[in-house]
Structure 1
């Protein structure tokens, strides 16, 4: 394979406008493929479990995907730096699409869990390589931010229509169609990427390359054990099993650090973590993931379980959050390139996120819907200011040789922050909710029904509520009062949980000062074309 320096079409982009547009369409379809899957599957899960009869594996449908994807993101991010990203983007589309078909063909929960694990490998490869492709195509940061709007728009559209599409497909065509919908999107993605995405890389090689398999294995153990720890903590508490998983993750991470320091062909360049700017950006990715996923997970539960909204109304409340991530990204692209200090957008973004979290903390059932919508809008706008800037700042700071691994690490650390956030917030909410419910039941001498009210989902399940109310009334208890007490306990628990997320957002504002001023305009390094 011949390797030579590619002549840029202009100082800001590698390809002419039409070819750049076609390549970006391919990357946008890839983004939509992953985002659609993440949003439509959740809607279909209750129906899937009802048909395949495997409630004990319910959580593993999501966990198996997250487990394999969080492991593969940094590995393929680094491999993309070495070999170029196009082969891995193509392979990931094929793996993801084939795995989606296998999910649709599943005849048991175990088969579905295994197929979702395979799908996660494809999803991790996509995230680890596709996000860095934009920096390949547009070396100039100002130009890149403008083109990145296409990817943000694809992500926003998928997030906005995903839940409704999942419900529609499940209701009219069955739950298997939720997975089959990835097939046409995957085929279109494959065409555009194969046809229009150039094969670029940034590291010229002499002789045969060696792969850091021990490093990859240690990454898998460290992140895999952490994911399992986070998954088990809210359900089982901090016991022997969860402590063992945490210890395994810490030990593997320490071994990984030691190994990568002495490895000549390290998959994870440790010098990146010694870079003050990158270390600060990586920390912000973790903190941002903590706040973002806490909001995305528990705001819908607050609206439905705590405030008694229907799923449709709760969906309307959440829509500004996901839609304004895209709008915020578009506005950010217009503003950040005109500021003398681009870092200002990080302060503004995290401040808006903190205000949104605090708004949810003080929200009540009687708060006007319009005000709730504004609160969610501010959160989406804040995330739209933060996420693209963290990516572009990290890419600019890392340099082209480490562009892929820097982008992949940012995505992985955001996911890890989200895992930690949902685990800690979830554990706190579960504990506070259980305490509040048990207190109400004790006062009414109705502890017999503690198991029925222990899961907040009863506050969403209208049929389950009617059956429980009938049982409580037959036993001489005021069922409506007990359900209202459970709602109040859930609202108070989520308020405290999201207060923690707000504190993390405020900490992120303070942490942003550690990021040295980033110059978005500067000399561009040569890109290497491999064809």
Structure 2
């Protein structure tokens, strides 16, 4: 099929089937952002490698972060259909690889390939809607549909992951992607028109910039994981050197080339740069909650993975609820900055309350704390997008929006990496001190992996001082949640200094 300038002759049926392909592909990406959270403790309990816990999440995020801007730009040149089809196929095959993984390293590679497919989808799928629906009213209707579907699948991911893990084992969450992926590949290949807005083959894409971004992010993650373990070892110093060198060369290159992947104009002092920072901070808190509260609920508080899924659900659902409330209220405010301010305040309160939870905190109270965090995120995420789009020129609108999404994932990657290193280090240190104090140091090695706490029904673990280890894990995770609350207060202080954003000026 040859590319076209416009999708002429596209019938209603073809448009709907094309949207099914796009929607199914995006649902793959949305589902795997949340369905994995409740399965993570069971995965590392089965495959081992608790020290690589964060990489199961951050491997996906790292690949997505790098590929979103690259394939967004390639879609502008070559049309989006080839990349949507390829993304769905890659994601489906990677899901099969994850389901069949025999060790933690194979799983991490599979998750990284899923991130590659997910980044390709996010970078191209939403931009396909104007290709399919040139009429503004139709375009808006389908944009709302896609956003709503994305949020619903995000919300269903957590409880679904808990249910499938309890009922069929953690591998079932990856097998679930296979029929959806096959449907997405078929509909995308057969019904999405190949629209190409330019016939120029002179593609000026900043591949070196993309490589430098990947090098900087991966070396930073390795640095924050290795530094607490090894201190200033030669390996850690090398990682720090690679990180600084990649950042310096990236800044130099992006200032010199004609078509930078990261336009320097968006990073000069001003409100847009501040919104990028706020998006990074919000992402770090959001993904830390998504990936580490399941460990708290299951490992420290003793809930099943299905119950943990129920606890996570209000957070994801109330992000949509907060966005809906936001859309009703924002037009009546003289200063719309109040809404994201309230969002960061609610998120800080939720993190603080979760940090103060004990082994006897009621299930429904935890449910309320998670709902509160989601409402806060709903006020934050949608407004950062609106504020950013309102603060840039039209020629930077697309790249600014993409960078905002990418930096949220950067925040998520850094947040989970730092939190993972922090928890892994402090848990082992505090566990050793606690068991020595009660003269039960013979259990240190067996309890050093907190996933044994998820297997308390095993007869071998009934003799272990499980209650002490649960309390140590809870205290450690509480410190991480207090750090997240502190990040929210820092973001609130930064946001407070931003002048009102006039969203509805003529």
Match of 2:460 in 1: 467
SS in 2 for 1:427: helix
Match of 1:410 in 2: 404
Shift of 1:71: 2.2
- How many residues matched? 502
Of 366, 376, 380 in structure 1, the residue corresponding to residue 374 of structure 2 is: 380
Separation (CA, whole Å) in 2 of partners of 1:495 and 1:81 = 45
Separation (CA, whole Å) in 2 of partners of 1:141 and 1:229 = 47
> Quick check: 334-343 or 247-256, which moved more?
334-343
Shift of 1:122: 1.1
Q: Does 1:79 align with 2:74?
A: yes
SS in 1 for 2:125: helix
Of 501, 504, 520 in structure 1, the residue corresponding to residue 487 of structure 2 is: 504
Task: Give matches, 1:252-401, under 5 Å.
Answer: 252-274=246-268, 276-401=270-395
User: Does structure 1 retain, via aligned residues, the 8 Å contact 2:322–2:376?
Assistant: yes
Separation (CA, whole Å) in 2 of partners of 1:51 and 1:27 = 34
Classify 1:176/1:431 alpha carbon distance in 2 versus 1 (closer, same or farther; 3 Å). closer
Q: Does 1:226 align with 2:209?
A: no
User: Does structure 2 retain, via aligned residues, the 8 Å contact 1:141–1:396?
Assistant: no
Separation (CA, whole Å) in 2 of partners of 1:250 and 1:355 = 35
Classify 1:496/1:42 alpha carbon distance in 2 versus 1 (closer, same or farther; 3 Å). closer
User: Does structure 2 retain, via aligned residues, the 8 Å contact 1:353–1:502?
Assistant: yes
> Quick check: 22-31 or 136-145, which moved more?
136-145
Separation (CA, whole Å) in 2 of partners of 1:444 and 1:48 = 31
Of 137, 144, 152 in structure 2, the residue corresponding to residue 157 of structure 1 is: 152
Separation (CA, whole Å) in 1 of partners of 2:478 and 2:44 = 30
Question: Which ranges in structure 2 are unaligned for 5 or more consecutive residues?
Answer: none
SS in 1 for 2:303: coil
Separation (CA, whole Å) in 2 of partners of 1:512 and 1:145 = 29
SS in 2 for 1:460: helix
Task: Give matches, 1:6-155, under 5 Å.
Answer: 27-41=22-36, 61-81=56-76, 85-104=80-99, 112-131=107-126, 149-155=144-150
| Deviations, residues 60-93 of structure 1 (Å, cap 9, x unaligned) | 5545433422322232234345555454334322
Shift of 1:248: 1.2
Separation (CA, whole Å) in 2 of partners of 1:176 and 1:223 = 29
Of 439, 443, 448 in structure 1, the residue corresponding to residue 442 of structure 2 is: 448
Separation (CA, whole Å) in 1 of partners of 2:504 and 2:306 = 45
Shift of 1:452: 1.8
Match of 1:495 in 2: 478
If the length of structure 2 is used for normalisation, what is the TM-score?
0.83
> Quick check: 140-149 or 187-196, which moved more?
140-149
| Deviations, residues 207-231 of structure 1 (Å, cap 9, x unaligned) | 7232222222212211222233345
Separation (CA, whole Å) in 1 of partners of 2:317 and 2:434 = 39
Shift of 1:258: 0.2
Shift of 1:499: 1.0
Separation (CA, whole Å) in 2 of partners of 1:79 and 1:224 = 23
User: Does structure 2 retain, via aligned residues, the 8 Å contact 1:341–1:517?
Assistant: yes
Aligned alpha-carbon RMSD (Å): 3.9
Separation (CA, whole Å) in 1 of partners of 2:504 and 2:134 = 10
If the length of structure 1 is used for normalisation, what is the TM-score?
0.80
| Deviations, residues 88-109 of structure 1 (Å, cap 9, x unaligned) | 3343223222333444566776
User: Does structure 2 retain, via aligned residues, the 8 Å contact 1:230–1:419?
Assistant: no
User: Does structure 2 retain, via aligned residues, the 8 Å contact 1:425–1:498?
Assistant: no
